[in-house]
A = this chain, B = another copy of it.
Amino acid sequence: MTDTRLDVLCIGNAIVDVIAATDDSFLAAEGLDKGAMRLIDAAEATRLYGKMGPGREISGGSAGNTAAGVAMLGGRAGFVGQVADDQLGEVYRHDITSLGIEFTTPSQQADVPTARSLVLVTPDAQRTMNTFLGAAQNLTVEALDEEQVRQSAILYLEGYLWDPERPRAAMERAIDVARAAGRKVAFTLSDSFCVDRHRDGFNALIDSGRLDILFANEAEIVSLTGESDFDRAVAAASARVPLLVVTRGERGAVAVEGEARVEVPAEPVAAIVDTTGAGDLFAAGFLTGHAQGRSNDVALRMGAIAAAEVISHYGARPEADLKALVAERLG
């Protein structure tokens, strides 16, 4: 195994979040499942946007958020994702590269615009996402830089990539390239509704033995395994993957590696404003710790610290100095 150039290479949908405050009655009137991500087409994006209040545009996308977290924690991060050659694409590229993240996927000169997610945040800080995938769904196998994959210690993929067909093929190829180079592959289930859509595919991927680390939250792991409660779901899933990391919101997080199970509590937060990106930043903290050779309990705490920061403000990218925050809290 040769030296690595990157600690974590993240592949995901390149999405600009359009974040607006709303209330429960708006979600009810629109028939939206609170806390879920749904895919919408261009017409629905235009219609819903027209009904939403004023927005803040902040770069997002699950794996992109994780790459931002890794970079802000001092890790060497890369990102692969498809944007269009438009203003939102420029914003996305700027925000990723200004953090020192390697992002070399060329923009597409297409009629299909850069992806955006209409993120509706209720007063309880829950986010309900309505994603128009746009150019993101046009990420192809050809856009992969296989040498970059080979030179990355960990390849990290979002479950959302399973939705659009072309990125799914790119993801499958990236996994094969990473494994052939002796690298680790990490995967997140992303969203329980996404698990509902792709349960068979996700289970087949896990049982193919090609994943080293699986990230999930409580709802996702229960949905994936079909078990009746959390402990049974963790037991069932952890038997099928070398390292399982499950987040539990205010109840903290659990990592299971073989027979070894460790847990950490959630980090304190003064006020939870917007939970968008909590799981993404948890993964960033854990993966950075893991890449640094830290133990699972320290890596979990790094995840919890990063997640606590991102839920304290609007937007799914950290605003505080994450590296300093982790140094201070880990002591």
Q: Is the CB of A91 within 8 A of B317?
A: no
28 A-B residue pairings within 8 Å (CB atoms): A21-B319, A49-B94, A50-B94, A50-B98, A52-B94, A52-B98, A53-B98, A53-B99, A54-B59, A54-B68, A54-B94, A54-B95, A54-B99, A54-B317, A55-B91, A55-B94, A55-B95, A56-B56, A56-B57, A56-B58, A57-B57, A57-B58, A57-B91, A86-B86, A86-B87, A87-B87, A87-B88, A87-B113
Binary CB contact string for chain A from 301 to 331 against chain B (1 if under 8 A, 0 otherwise): 0000000000000010101000000000000
Nearest B residue to A49 via CB reads: B94
Residues of chain A at the chain B interface (Cβ within 8 Å): 18, 21, 49-50, 52-59, 68, 86-88, 91, 94-95, 98-99, 113, 315, 317, 319
What is the oligomeric copy number?
2
* Min distance, Cβ A313 to any Cβ of chain B, angstroms: 8
* Min distance, Cβ A84 to any Cβ of chain B, angstroms: 10
A129 to B317, CA, bound (A): 23
Residues of B within 8 A of A94 (CB): 49-50, 52, 54-55
Residues of B within 8 A of A113 (CB): 87
Nearest B residue to A54 via CB reads: B95
A57 to B55, CA, bound (A): 9
A52 to B317, CA, bound (A): 15
* Min distance, Cβ A128 to any Cβ of chain B, angstroms: 17
Residues of B within 8 A of A58 (CB): 56-57
Residues of B within 8 A of A68 (CB): 54
Nearest B residue to A90 via CB reads: B49
A55 to B56, CA, bound (A): 10
Nearest B residue to A99 via CB reads: B54
A99 to B54, CA, bound (A): 7
Nearest B residue to A58 via CB reads: B56
Residues of B within 8 A of A99 (CB): 53-54
A323 to B137, CA, bound (A): 42
Residues of B within 8 A of A98 (CB): 50, 52-54
Residues of B within 8 A of A87 (CB): 86-88, 113
A315 to B55, CA, bound (A): 11
Nearest B residue to A57 via CB reads: B57
Nearest B residue to A16 via CB reads: B57
* Min distance, Cβ A26 to any Cβ of chain B, angstroms: 12
A310 to B113, CA, bound (A): 32
A56 to B88, CA, bound (A): 12
Residues of B within 8 A of A317 (CB): 54
